[in-house]
């Protein structure tokens, strides 16, 4: 693990994914109500130099060479990856040097910027989100930077998705009380008709949201209703299942604690998810979590029948 790379982690949408965390915690163009990383601390719409291109490429290629081979490299992480000024060069270099497919997991809110549109065209899979069907829903749920309004966002999304040469895998995140009414789903369906999508993943909140106790997940009935409204390309994203195996590599107690803490700094996770990603025996991970929880560094939270581990107080 290092500043730039995490995983490979199990992704419900892309298989075994090596994540590249381009934007610092929590720099984003949105402040989404449902974000599993927490509230945006630096909401921006301008591109920035978050780090050296060479340093990031070296970190990723080293992780690919030394760790379990991932199915894809995903630009995602603790903030919005399209805010990185050298995104196009990074995508080109990573594809050339690893031979792996490159996924851009993005809110899609900056596609109206020509430099962002040009950069994302180089990826293999584009995975933008579209959670709202009108301005008021967009403001309520995604809480974008003031420079981004619904029409500007949707226009950029339309232009880029129709021009993109690879696979467009749209995601719609449904949140209880925010965009799950029938009329709201119908508005989202109309917006989806404007963009091009090879598939539409209908999703809901499955991880605890820092600082929020309310359950934001919608029911399976609502997910299915939405998928039916969104058309034949829409499908409900399957739920996560923890692995029960005790097998895995052995590491020292201190290394296990360090790996667990680095993992959950990115996002809350179950021991099963960490076991699948890190390849460490569950018994060691259970012990590491117990020690960290005893020291008040992490805390456990029961949600939707699963126990998630997260950084305490976040």
**pLDDT tens for each residue of 124-149:** 999 999 999 999 999 999 999 999 99
Q: CA of 242: how far to CAs of 65, 245, 271, 277, 314, in Å?
A: 27, 9, 8, 11, 23
- Rounded CA-CA distance 129/116 in Å is 16
What pLDDT was estimated at residue 212?
A: 60
**pLDDT tens for each residue of 21-63:** 998 888 999 999 988 777 898 999 999 999 999 999 999 999 9
Q: Using the CB atoms, write b or e for 101-140: b if 16+ within 10 Å.
A: bbbbbbbbbbbbbeebbebbbbbbbbbbbbbbbbeebbee
What pLDDT was estimated at residue 257?
A: 85
The two tokens of residue 123 are 């990826």
Q: Which of 4-18, 68-82, 87-101 has the lowest mean pLDDT?
A: 4-18
**pLDDT tens for each residue of 183-202:** 999 999 999 999 999 999 99
Mean pLDDT score of the chain: 88
Residue owning tokens 């009414």: 181
CATH number corresponding to 253-311: 1.10.10.10
What pLDDT was estimated at residue 238?
A: 65
Residue range 94-105: mean pLDDT, rounded: 96
Judge whether residue 244 has pLDDT over 50: no
What pLDDT was estimated at residue 39?
A: 86
For the chain, the structural domain boundaries read 5-236, 253-311
Question: Topology of 5-236 in CATH?
Answer: TIM Barrel (3.20.20)
**pLDDT tens for each residue of 264-299:** 888 888 888 888 777 787 877 887 888 788 888 999
């Amino acid at each position: 693990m290092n500043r730039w790379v995490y995983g490979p982690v199990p992704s419900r949408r892309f298989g075994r994914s090596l994540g590249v965390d381009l934007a610092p915690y929590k720099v984003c163009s949105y402040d989404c109500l449902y974000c599993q990383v927490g509230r945006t601390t630096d909401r921006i719409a301008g591109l920035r130099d978050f780090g050296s291109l060479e340093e990031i490429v070296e970190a990723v290629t080293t992780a690919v060479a030394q760790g379990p081979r991932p199915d894809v490299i995903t630009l995602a992480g603790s903030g919005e990856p399209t805010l990185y000024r050298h995104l196009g060069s990074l995508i080109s270099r990573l594809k050339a040097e690893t031979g792996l497919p490159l996924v851009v997991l993005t809110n899609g809110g900056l596609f109206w910027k020509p430099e962002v549109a040009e950069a994302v065209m180089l990826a293999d899979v584009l995975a933008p989100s579209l959670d709202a069907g009108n301005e008021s829903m967009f403001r309520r749920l995604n809480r974008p930077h003031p420079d981004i309004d619904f029409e500007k966002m949707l226009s950029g999304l339309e232009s880029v998705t129709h021009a993109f040469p690879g696979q467009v895998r749209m995601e719609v995140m449904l949140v209880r009380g925010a965009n799950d009414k029938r009329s709201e789903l119908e508005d989202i369906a109309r917006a989806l008709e404007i963009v091009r999508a090879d598939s539409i993943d209908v999703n809901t909140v499955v991880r605890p949201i820092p600082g929020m106790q309310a359950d934001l997940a919608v029911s399976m009935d609502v997910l299915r209703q939405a998928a039916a409204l969104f058309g034949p390309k829409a499908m409900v994203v399957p739920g996560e299942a923890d692995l029960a195996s005790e097998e895995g590599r052995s590491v020292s107690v201190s290394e296990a604690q360090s790996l667990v803490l680095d993992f959950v700094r990115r996002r809350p996770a179950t021991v099963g998810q960490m076991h699948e990603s890190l390849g460490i025996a569950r018994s060691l991970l259970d012990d590491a979590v117990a020690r960290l929880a005893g020291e008040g560094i992490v805390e456990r939270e029961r949600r939707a029948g699963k126990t998630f581990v997260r950084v305490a107080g976040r």
